[in-house]
Amino acid sequence: MSRVIKSPRGMNDLLPPESSKWLYFESACRSLFERFGYLEVRTPIVESTELFARGIGEATDIVEKEMYTFPDRKERSLTMRPEMTAGCARSYIEHAIHKREPVTRWFYTGPMFRYERMQTGRYRQFYQVGVEAFGAPEPSVDAEQIAMLYALYTQLGVTDLDVVVNSVGTGDDRQRYREALVAFLTPHRSELCEDCQRRMDTNPLRILDCKVPSCQLLVVDAPNILESLGPDSRAHFDQMRRHLDGFEIPHRVNPRVVRGLDYYTATVFEILGGSANLGTQSTLVGGGRYDTLIERLGGPPTPAMGFALGVERAILSLPGDPSEYVNAPLAYLAAHGTAARERALAIAHRLRVAGLRIEVEHREVGLKAQFKRADKLGVRYVVTLGEDELASGEVKIRDMNRRQEIAVKLRDLESALKQRAHG
Ligand code: AMP
Enumerate residues 6+ apart whose C-beta is below 8 A from 178.
204, 205
Residue nearest to atom 8 of ligand 1 (CA): 310
Share of the chain above pLDDT 90, in %: 86
Query: Computed from CA positions of residues 46, 50, 53, 56, in that sequence, does the dihedral angle turn out positive or negative?
Result: negative
Pocket of ligand 1 (CB under 6 A): 83, 114, 116, 122-123, 126, 128, 283-286, 308-310, 312-313
Mean pLDDT score, 407-412: 96
Mean pLDDT score, 62-80: 95
Residue nearest to atom 4 of ligand 1 (CA): 286
Q: Which atom of ligand 1 lies nearest, measured to the CA of 287? A: 4
End-to-end CA distance of the chain: 54
* CA gap 182, 59 in Å, rounded: 16
Q: What is the pLDDT of residue 387?
A: 94
3 state SS of 70: strand
Q: Are strands 265-272 and 404-409 parallel, antiparallel or unpaired?
A: unpaired
Q: What is the pLDDT of residue 279?
A: 62
CA 198 to centroid of ligand 1, rounded, Å: 23
Q: At what angle do helices 18-35 and 139-155 cross, to 10 degrees?
A: 140
The CA–CA distances, whole Å, from 38 to 34, 101, 133, 244, 271 equal: 5, 14, 8, 20, 20
Question: Which of 126, 158, 161, 263 gets mutated to test ligand 1 (max ligand atoms within 8 A of its CB)?
Answer: 126
Residue nearest to atom 1 of ligand 1 (CA): 286
Q: Is 129:308 a contact under the CB 8 Å cutoff?
A: yes
CA 164 to centroid of ligand 1, rounded, Å: 16
CA 392 to centroid of ligand 1, rounded, Å: 61
Q: Which tens digits make up the pLDDT trace of 39-48?
A: 999 999 999 9
Q: Which of 145-159, 248-262, 298-312 has the lowest mean pLDDT?
A: 248-262
Q: Which tens digits make up the pLDDT trace of 191-223?
A: 999 989 998 998 899 899 888 999 999 999 999
Residue 59: band (very low, low, confident or very high) from pLDDT cuts 50, 70, 90: confident
Any idea how long the chain is?
A: 423
Residue nearest to atom 13 of ligand 1 (CA): 310
Question: Which of 25, 124, 128 gets mutated to test ligand 1 (max ligand atoms within 8 A of its CB)?
Answer: 128
Q: What is the pLDDT of residue 61?
A: 84
Enumerate residues 6+ apart whose C-beta is below 8 A from 62.
52, 56, 82, 83, 114, 260, 261
Q: Which atom of ligand 1 lies nearest, measured to the CA of 270? A: 10
| Helix locations, 322-396, DSSP H | 338-353, 367-377, 387-392
Q: Which tens digits make up the pLDDT trace of 156-196?
A: 999 899 999 999 999 899 999 999 999 999 999 999 999 89
Give 23 or 276, the one with higher predicted confidence: 23
Q: Which amino acid is at 146?
A: I
Q: What is the pLDDT of residue 263?
A: 78
Residue nearest to atom 20 of ligand 1 (CA): 122
Q: What is the pLDDT of residue 423?
A: 75
Q: What is the pLDDT of residue 233?
A: 97
Q: What is the pLDDT of residue 276?
A: 64
CA 365 to centroid of ligand 1, rounded, Å: 48
Residue nearest to atom 14 of ligand 1 (CA): 310
Mean pLDDT score, 242-251: 98
Q: What is the pLDDT of residue 297?
A: 96
Q: What is the pLDDT of residue 120?
A: 77
Q: What is the pLDDT of residue 277?
A: 65
Residue 57 has pLDDT above 90, yes or no: no
Question: Which of 161, 312, 315, 318 gets mutated to test ligand 1 (max ligand atoms within 8 A of its CB)?
Answer: 312
Q: What is the mean pLDDT of the chain?
A: 94
Residue 295: band (very low, low, confident or very high) from pLDDT cuts 50, 70, 90: very high
Q: Which tens digits make up the pLDDT trace of 4-25?
A: 999 999 999 999 999 999 999 9
Q: Which tens digits make up the pLDDT trace of 116-171?
A: 988 877 899 999 999 999 999 999 999 999 999 999 999 999 989 999 999 999 98
